[in-house]
Structure 1
């Protein structure tokens, strides 16, 4: 059974990016997270991470649809 909450380092590993990038995403509000404990440790709920990933797929699909590849080769 997978844990409900992930540390930022675990999220970074899941998304193949850096811890600092995930921290920035959390602090900017791009990726929902909670702060827990006396030391204020960040946790991301796995369900929220999956929602984030799904949203990013949709955003990317929209971007691709509005920015098609242009054939730059001369005829």
Structure 2
């Protein structure tokens, strides 16, 4: 069985995830994986090409700014 946990900020996703992990469920944290992925220079280059330099502070991706851009436009 595969269970996906979704929801807005403060909806309890982390709490439910922690409970399931404590009960021995295998857990894949895509948010954690995405933090690692956007550190890849090739990914940063693609992000820059697609969303511009406004999502960067020096070489750090501003995840909140990227999220605002992506989720305001269904095409993104």
One fold, TM greater than 0.5? no
Higher relative contact order (CA 8 A, sep 6+): 1
Length-normalised TM-score, structure 1: 0.34
The structure with more radius of gyration = 1
